[in-house]
């Protein structure tokens, strides 16, 4: 568990594990009742109270990464991208973008470098 300390600007979380006394536990319970801090549902860390927020930022980020790795979510994203790329607005933007001189030059350099690496790797 991480301990919360009060500072002038609000609550600050210290990244150390401590043993709590009865007074400290009462202080934490009071802060939770007054809606100054909240306890994360997964990792038991304290963070500043925000209405309807149940998870700390680290757990929320981990859950989001896990969710985005699921096959059905990946497929939904791919399908959306396929549909988006078919739209005339996107096609127009893409044509204009790839006709820019700086983009053409960047692509030429990349393809030339790829060709040289491929040629060197084949033993010729």
Give 35-75 pLDDT, tens digit per residue: 888 888 888 888 888 899 999 889 999 999 999 999 999 99
Contact 4, 46 (CB under 8 A): yes
Q: Is residue 27 a part of any domain in this protein?
A: yes
Give the integer Cα–Cα distance in Å for 11 and 109: 52
DSSP H helices, 5-122, are 22-33, 57-68, 71-86, 88-98, 101-121
**Which residues form the domain of 81?**
75-121
Q: Are residues 85 and 116 in the same domain?
A: yes
Whether residue 54 is contained in a domain is answered as: yes
Does residue 17 share a domain with residue 48? yes
* Spatial separation of the C-alpha atoms in residues 4 and 50, rounded to whole Å: 16
pTM for the whole structure: 0.52
- Asked whether residue 38 is assigned to any structural domain, the reply reads yes
Q: State yes or no: pLDDT of 122 exceeds 70.
A: no
Residue 70 is assigned to a structural domain of this protein: no
């Amino acid at each position: 568990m991480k301990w919360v300390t009060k500072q002038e600007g609000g609550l600050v979380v210290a990244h150390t594990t401590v043993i709590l006394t009865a007074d400290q536990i009462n202080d934490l319970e009071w802060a939770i009742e007054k809606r100054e801090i909240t306890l994360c549902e997964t990792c038991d860390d304290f963070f500043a109270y925000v209405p309807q927020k149940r998870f700390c930022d680290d757990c929320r980020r981990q859950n989001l990464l896990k969710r985005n790795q699921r096959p059905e979510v990946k497929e939904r994203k791919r399908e959306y991208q396929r549909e988006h790329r078919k739209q005339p607005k996107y096609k127009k933007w893409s044509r204009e973008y790839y006709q820019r001189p700086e983009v053409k030059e960047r692509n030429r350099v990349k393809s030339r470098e790829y060709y040289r690496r491929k040629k060197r790797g084949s033993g010729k």
